[in-house]
């Protein structure tokens, strides 16, 4: 829509319907983005759950390795610190992943 101000001088004036349509389009796009983010959050949660499960298995393996090593003492005494550090690292990774999953859940 245009308005003639002077001789052959036209200025574009936005029509109120155009403004409403723009607002509706923005609302539609915002709703679409929320849906996309929601799906991404669900996928992230599933990925985090899988990672927690994998890290849990590693931590249990490390724990069993340390347990088995402790039963064989004093044989393998030189490996105790290395296996213990691996066990601690495995459980720290598991704890961090669980906290991340809990944060994603809320």
pLDDT band at 94 (very low <50, low <70, confident <90, very high): very high
pLDDT at 104: 82
The encoded tokens of residue 37 equal 């983010």
Domain count, the chain: 1
Residue 70 CA to residue 64 CA, distance in Å, equals: 10
Per-residue CA distances from 63 to 18, 51, 73, 95, 98 (Å)? 66, 18, 16, 14, 18
The encoded tokens of residue 92 equal 């720290």
pLDDT at 27: 74
Interval 54-82: pLDDT, tens: 999 999 999 999 999 999 888 889 999 99
How large is the average pLDDT for residues 35-43?
Answer: 65
pLDDT at 54: 95
Instruction: Please tell me the pTM assigned to this model.
Output: 0.61
pLDDT band at 49 (very low <50, low <70, confident <90, very high): very high
Q: Which residue has the higher pLDDT, 10 or 93?
A: 93
pLDDT at 2: 45
Give the CATH number for residue 85: 1.10.287.660
Residue 105 CA to residue 86 CA, distance in Å, equals: 29
The encoded tokens of residue 78 equal 């030189």
Structural domain span for residue 43: 2-105
Residue 79 gets which letter from DSSP?
Answer: G
Residue 77 CA to residue 101 CA, distance in Å, equals: 37
Structural contact between residues 66 and 87, judged by C-beta atoms closer than 8 angstroms: yes
């Amino acid at each position: 829509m245009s308005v003639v101000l002077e001789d052959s001088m036209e200025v574009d004036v936005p029509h109120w319907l155009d403004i409403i349509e723009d607002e509706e389009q923005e609302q539609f796009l915002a709703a679409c983005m929320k849906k996309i983010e929601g799906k991404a959050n669900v996928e992230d949660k599933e990925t985090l759950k899988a990672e927690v499960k994998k890290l849990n298995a590693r931590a249990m393996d490390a724990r069993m390795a340390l347990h088995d090593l402790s039963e064989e003492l004093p044989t393998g005494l030189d490996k105790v610190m290395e296996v213990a550090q691996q066990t601690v690292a495995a459980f720290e990774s598991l704890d961090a992943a669980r906290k991340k999953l809990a944060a994603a859940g809320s």
